[in-house]
Amino acid sequence: MGRRRKRRKPQLLRAPRTLPTVFECPHCGAKALTVEINKKERNEKGEVKAIIRCGRCGLYAEMWVPEIFHPVDVYSKFLDAYLEGKIEYSFTKEEASISLSELASQEAGEEEGEEAVEGGEAGESREGAEKEDRVW
């Protein structure tokens, strides 16, 4: 009856987060396209889910990619698929800016539900948001 040493609880294995990298959006041309690789979601082929999102026009797409993919690989694969019309994408406008504050909130590990936005009825973005605080 050996005394069992209490095993140290392994620290929560945190998958190293790939920092979102910013690329040029094929839709609006802004350098606001981020790629996030979610290694927690896998399909039966062992591929992981990549999320492509543009902070400017709201383009949003999901792709299954091999785990070894880097954001830049995802981006080029996405570009090909986008240009060939082989990828489903939608436009979301949940947050106008994907910025450092989002990076911080990712720590919380919240997962978005699968909201399939169907029908491309994304409202046109209004550019006329001028401030009306002229003081005479």
Site residues, Zn ion (CB under 5 A): 25, 27-28, 54, 56-57, 59
In the complex, minimum distance from the CB of residue 9 to Zn ion, in angstroms, rounded to a whole number:
44
Nearest CB to Zn ion, comparing residues 61 and 65: 61
Q: With respect to Zn ion, which residue has the nearer C-beta, 69 or 82?
A: 82
Among residues 57 and 63, whose Cβ is nearest to Zn ion?
A: 57
3-state DSSP assignment of residue 83: helix
The minimum distance between CB 108 and Zn ion, in angstroms, equals 26
* 103 alpha-carbon distance from chain centroid: 11
How many whole angstroms separate alpha carbon 19 and alpha carbon 4? 41
- Which C-beta is closer to Zn ion: that of 48 or that of 77? 77
Q: How far is the CB of 127 from Zn ion (least distance, A)?
A: 14
Long-range contacts for 102-107 (Cβ within 8 Å, ≥24 apart)? 103/19, 103/20, 106/17
Whether residue 25 contacts residue 32, with contact meaning beta carbons closer than 8 Å, is answered with yes
Residues 6 or more apart from 11 whose CB is under 8 A from it?
Answer: none
Please report how close the Cβ of residue 130 comes to Zn ion at its closest, in angstroms.
Answer: 22
